[in-house]
Amino acid sequence: EVGCLGVSLDVGVAEVNRWYRQLRRLQSLCHAIRANKQTPAACAYRLQLWTSILRAPGFYRNFPTWWETRPIQLQGSPGSIFAALPHSPTVELIFLDFRENYRSFEAWSIKPHAIPAAPKPDQVDSLTIRRSYTILAVDSDSQQIHLDAPLDLRGCSTWTIDGVSASICNPDGAVCTVDLPCDLAPESELEQCQVLASCTDVQHEFETLWAARWGKHANPAECDWTRICQFARAFLPRGRLEMAPISYEQWRTALKRYKPRAARGPDGFSRKDLLRMPRERTQELLDFLNSIERGHSGWPEQLLTGLVLAHEKLMAFSHTGPSACSVSYIGRGPAYALDRVAELWMLLEASIELSCQGGSTRSGFSMDIVKCFNNLPRAPVGLASNASWVCRKLCCGLGSPFCLAFGDAVIRSSVGRPLLSTSGYPEGCPLSTVAMVVTGCMFHQYMEQFTPSVQSLSYVDNFVGHAVQAGQAVAGLNAAICFCDAMGLEIDPAKTYVWSNNAPDRRALTALQFPVLDAVRELGGYFSFGRSARNQALQQRCRDLEPLFAALKRSSSPLALKLLSLPTKLWPRALHGVAGCPVSLQLLAALRSDAVKALRVQVGGASALLRLSINERMDCDPGFYQAWHVLGTTRRVCLKQPEMLTMWRLYCQRYDGSRLHGPFTKFFEVIGVLGWTLEAPPMFTDHENLRHDLLRIPVPLLRRLVEAAWLQHVALAHRHRQTMRDLMCIDQDLLRQGRANLCPLDLARQVALQSGSFVFGHAQSKFDPQQDGLCVQCGVADNARHRLCVCPQYAHERRPFQWVCDRWDELPDCLTHHLLVPANPHGPELRRQLQVCQDQCFQYYSYGCAPDTQHLFTDGSCLHSRVPGLALAGWGLVHSSTGLVLACGPVCGLLQSAPRAELCAMLSAVRWVAVVQRNAVIWSDALHVVDTMQQLLRGDVLTGSLENSDLWERIAEEVARLDSTCLRVLHTPSHLDPVLCDSPMEEWLAKWNDHADTVAVSANTNRPQAFVELHARAMEYHEDMARVQQALRGLYCALAARTASEDRRARAVHEEECQDMMERDELPVDELPAGMSLIEALPI
């Protein structure tokens, strides 16, 4: 039936709207043809409607062409559409067919909007300004007043005099008539609350506000940069950091770092435009940019113009937040790494903690600059960048004026009057980070020259210094103030303070004009300037999660998405800066309890610790999140700041068990929970007595070790339960095995069992007095053993799994009652043997070379890759020109995977080429390895986020030893069938790649007999426990399905009995149907 249709999508999607209009056209045509009016107007209307349908936009090429390839094609619909107007049945078939396609497209369009995004700050479209005028004179007869300034009558205003509402009329400059119920008196104040909504007025106010700041140094005669410029020439280090021209690959990599919906600049190019630009046009653009950087061309006006948008603060809607400058994507400019702030506060906290441990004094200061980016002077920054090590390609625009135009898309997309900027670097401008880096270098050099006893730190516009004595800290503060004065920067008194860990020094510092603090939260860290541990601010952040927990409880999103919000949204907010701040176990337990309540998964007997730790992401638990965050932050800071490692070693030498406030004590606290012990940093011993280097261990292996240690901690925390007394550690590989094949209901049942829920009547009777805990049919305790192995009521469900019931007594209770498999008993010994396995990457069987280019083939092999804890990997290297096997061997270490095997083979091949010093081509079927090797050969610097970074560092060292022009790395398809090859080249590649694969498999399987037997026993245990776990899960789910079916039938019978009794007026009061009141049940 053709009815009135409506669009259900409430977002402005252009394509959906076009399809909706086409659907309404077809609907109108159906109504018109059904009416069958033969008047000339009706016939013309039908023809015009059909023509509009054929020419409708929004379809590939046109509607008839799209119709032939439409996604949904209903039975009986016409295969093609012609220009002639079809008959009524055909039109209705076309309409019904297109309606199904439209509904499918509409549903697909709605999907991206199913999960609401985080609220975005609103752009300013009106301003509320409060002004005060002093009344100089009053004429009582005419009620006229004379003010100290002319009235601003733009927009809409409300007036008050001494808090009493008034109205203004007949304004003439500073004179006006006031209608006020009380007498007027001179020296009173007229207050105006003015609301400006006009685009021109709003832009004028912002231009007036920013013009003074952007043009602060417009007149060179008023600025004296002699002192700071002479300092830059005299003390800044000389040198030059030269950067290669921007390559096409670097360009695309940089563009992909932007968010998909990042704002575009005034030039109109968006991220998607630049990514989809043809390579030839992109190369022309890069050549143009490189010519600008070489000084052969000037900057175009589009790249020197920015649109400034003012946003409201999300936390204070009555105040206008900081402005953001939207500039072009085109150009070169670095950016700050957001995690660098952790380096500053961890270094400072470590210094304070170390001084408190040794009983020495430490004092310091911290200051913040008011609107630092917008107030940086161009002239000294440009001179310093030219005189020091900064690359000329980055500093070519640091001292030049550029144009800024204020605009706001909300105010009718109007752009204001252009303002020439001669001071500062707006936030969002790529040059702002360069200028801030140069300023930071000048600050550190200034402090080093004038106060060498003060250790200075900085992060963007935060300048920090600390020293041994309070007098040295005061001298450092004065030097920092002098530096800011020389740079024309204003210090924010509200965010500037001094501190000391010694009471006499704190009393001495009170003579300064700045506050003396003993604890503060700043830059994401929690500082305690003394021996006391202070975490009140962190506790408050945890309490502030209550609104988020309430929103999570109200949310109708799937449980998987709600669980994902814990480690991505809630824990980062509550535990930010926890790497240096002590946290009690009670606080973590409270967070777990609140989380399971908000998720609505708190059932009788279930442990919040187990429930959150057995998820796909273990950091859903706040305790594991804290442990992983502390280990990762400590590792990252020690890698970037060698001074941190030196202080850590000194702390361990003095360690006496005292608990202080700082990152070192926090690290001891975390590894104590994991069962690890710290040796000489960064060496530690894990829960299986295996030694590791925290700084060199691969991140995937560190993650796996932390997860295994945390599962052991969780298991030991529940051994007091009768059904978990034999749970020493949970098997990491079997914990989540098989979950992907379960339906949501069975998955929920398994997770409830694994979290310790009371499932059967005997356990439920402990907290439910209405239950006796006995089996209804047998009259014995209704526990897991009786229900699964004995009760005749469930004999049919038990029959396929009888074999596992026969093994019930020999199986661990934690497995039979909770599907939690104890850790593999052969695992620790297997991992010990893997760790002591010898590295054979540099052991070669031959150095024989061919007379021309050497063609080497590498490959890796991995057995049992689906079980990461029992996987074994090996690699092989063959020489196709000589037919010899050059090297092969197993992958050493605990982390066994195919990517590491490929990297070991590549490492061996590169080292072989470096030794023989011959031109070579290395062939590999691992595309990611080939791409990264080509980056290394081009001279690119690898990022620290690479997986298996330890092997990549070794490969990079070997590449640095040889001439990159003598080595090429190429990709070959893997496992080619020689019979299906089309050319001799493909046959050659297939032959030698298969040979390298055979060598890798042989090296992987050719291991010591004792190791092979040990691995076989471990695999036998794993496979046996996997079968038992699968059978028990199937039995539990079958019983649960049977029980649920019986409950549904019982409820149906009960409702029928209630209905019959109600019809006979015999319904008891305590048997009222749901939703019925007592008055409705009793007859009158």
DSSP string, 884-930: EEEEEEEPPSS---HHHHHHHHHHHHHHHHHHHT--EEEEES-HHHH
Report DSSP state, residue 123.
B
Average pLDDT over residues 979-997: 89
Cα separation, 1006 vs 863, in Å, equals: 12
Pick the residue with more confidence: 1022 or 135?
1022
Residues ≥6 apart with Cβ < 8 Å to 1067: 1058, 1061, 1081
- CA-CA distance, 460 to 476, in Å (whole number)? 18
Name the residue type at position 1004. Answer: N
Distance, in Å, from the CA atom of 652 to the CA atom of 671, rounded to the nearest integer, reads 14
Least confident segment among 75-84, 329-338, 546-555, 651-660: 329-338
Backbone phi, then psi, for 985, in 5-degree steps? -65, -45
The pLDDT of residue 974: 86
Closest CA to 144 of 115, 176, 118: 176
Q: Which residues contact 1022 (CB under 8 A, 6 or more apart)?
A: 731, 733, 734, 824, 867, 870
For 373, counting Cβ atoms within 10 Å of its Cβ (0-12 exposed, 13-18 middle, 19+ buried), the class is: buried
pLDDT number for residue 113? 40
User: What pLDDT, on a 0 to 100 scale, did the predictor assign at position 1082?
Assistant: 41
The residue that leads in pLDDT, 280 or 430, is 280
What confidence score (pLDDT) does residue 942 get? 75
| Orientation of helix 699-716 relative to helix 622-640, angle to 10° | 150
Q: What is the Cα–Cα distance from 83 to 823, expressed in whole angstroms?
A: 72
Give the pLDDT band of residue 67 (cuts 50, 70, 90).
very high
- What whole-number distance in Å separates Cα of residue 515 and Cα of residue 728? 53
| Residue 344 CB-half CA count within 13 A | 21
Bridge partner residues of 781 (DSSP): 774
Q: What mean pLDDT is reported for the chain?
A: 84
pLDDT at 319 (0 to 100): 33
> Residue 351: its pLDDT value, please?
92
Indicate the pLDDT class of residue 12, thresholds 50, 70 and 90. very low
Backbone φ and ψ for 335, nearest 5 degrees, come out as: -140, 155
Task: Pick the closest to residue 738 from 1018, 1015, 1022 (CA basis).
Answer: 1022
Give the model's pLDDT for residue 328.
55
Token code pair at residue 304: 């020197």
Predicted confidence (pLDDT) at residue 200 exceeds the cutoff of 50: yes
Pick the CATH number of 832-1007 from 1.10.10.10, 1.10.3720.10, 1.10.1060.10, 3.30.420.10: 3.30.420.10
State how far the Cα of 481 lies from the Cα of 424, in Å rounded to an integer.
19
**CB-based contacts of 342, cutoff 8 Å, min separation 6:** 524, 525, 579, 633, 636, 637
State the distance between the two ends of the chain, measured CA to CA, in whole angstroms: 48
Confidence band for 428, pLDDT divided at 50, 70 and 90: low
Other residues' Cβ atoms within 10 Å of the Cβ of residue 973: 12
- Name the pLDDT band for 261 (thresholds 50, 70, 90): confident
Question: What pLDDT sits at residue 117?
Answer: 42
In this structure, the number of other CB atoms found within 10 A of the CB of residue 937 comes to 15
* pLDDT at site 378: 82
Instruction: Give the per-residue pLDDT at 3.
Output: 42
pLDDT of residue 1060: 63
**Token pair of 233, please?**
């020439």
More confident residue, 83 or 124: 83
Do 832-1007 and 127-197 fall under one CATH topology?
no
Most confidently predicted of 14-18, 740-744, 1050-1054: 740-744
Give me the CATH topology for the region 127-197: Thrombin, subunit H (2.40.10)
Mean pLDDT, residues 429-437 taken together: 80
760/786 Cα distance (integer angstroms): 10
Tokens describing residue 579:
């790497």
Residue ranges of the domains in the chain? 14-113, 127-197, 536-717, 728-823+1012-1054, 832-1007
- No. of H helices and E strands in the chain? 39, 25
- Alpha-carbon distance of 1067 to 1081, in angstroms, equals 7
Q: What whole-number distance in Å separates Cα of residue 392 and Cα of residue 295? A: 10
Residues 843, 1037: contact at Cβ < 8 Å? no
- Contact indicator for 829, 665 with CB cutoff of 8 Å: no
Assign residue 282 a region: left if phi > 0, alpha if psi is -120 to 50, beta otherwise? alpha
Q: What is the pLDDT of residue 304?
A: 72
Q: At CA 810, angle to CA 808 and CA 813, rounded to 5?
A: 70
- Residues of the chain by 3-state class (helix, strand, coil), percent to 5: 50, 15, 35
Per-residue confidence band for 112, with pLDDT thresholds at 50, 70 and 90: very low
Single-letter amino acid code for the residue at 86 = P
- For tokens 């089309």, what's the residue? 982
Give the best-scoring range by mean pLDDT among 172-176, 345-349, 556-560, 564-568: 564-568
What does the pLDDT read at residue 665?
94
CA-to-CA separations, 410 to 192, 202, 225, 747, in angstroms, rounded: 26, 12, 41, 48
Closest of 549, 534, 532 to residue 584, by C-alpha:
534
| pLDDT tens-place string over residues 739-781 | 888 888 899 999 999 999 988 888 888 777 788 888 888 888 8
Is residue 611's pLDDT more than 50?
yes
At residue 224, the pLDDT reads 76
Q: State the average pLDDT over residues 371-393.
A: 75
Any idea which residue has 């303002």 for tokens? 419
- pLDDT category of residue 396 using cuts at 50, 70 and 90: low
pLDDT score, position 374: 81
| 784-791 LR contacts (CB < 8 Å, sep 24+) | 784/723, 784/759, 784/760, 784/816, 784/817, 785/816, 787/760, 787/1039, 788/816, 788/1032, 788/1035, 788/1036, 788/1039
Residue range 175-203: average pLDDT? 84
pLDDT at 340 over 70: no
- Asked whether 265 and 300 are in contact (CB, 8 A), the reply is no
pLDDT of residue 905: 96
pLDDT band at 412 (very low <50, low <70, confident <90, very high): low
Under the banding of pLDDT at 50, 70 and 90, the label for residue 567 is: very high
Q: 945: helix, coil or strand?
A: coil
pLDDT at residue 1057, rounded to an integer = 67
Query: Is residue 403 pLDDT above 60, yes or no?
Result: no
Work out whether strand 175-179 and strand 872-879 pair parallel, antiparallel, or are unpaired.
unpaired
Q: Over pLDDT 90: what percentage of the chain?
A: 45
pLDDT at 1080: 46
Averaged over 950-963, what is the pLDDT?
90
Q: Which residue has the higher pLDDT, 648 or 2?
A: 648
Lowest mean pLDDT among 518-527, 579-588, 605-614: 518-527
State the DSSP code for 462: E
What are the tokens at 35?
Answer: 């009416």
Count of other CB atoms within 10 angstroms of residue 372: 24
Q: Is the pLDDT of residue 692 over 90?
A: yes
CA dist 652 → 159, 672, 689, 825 (Å): 68, 15, 19, 34
Task: Quote the percentage of the chain above a pLDDT of 70.
Answer: 87
Catalogue the long-range contacts made by 28-31 (C-beta closer than 8 Å, 24 or more residues apart): 29/53, 29/91, 29/95, 30/2, 30/88, 30/91, 30/92, 30/95, 31/2
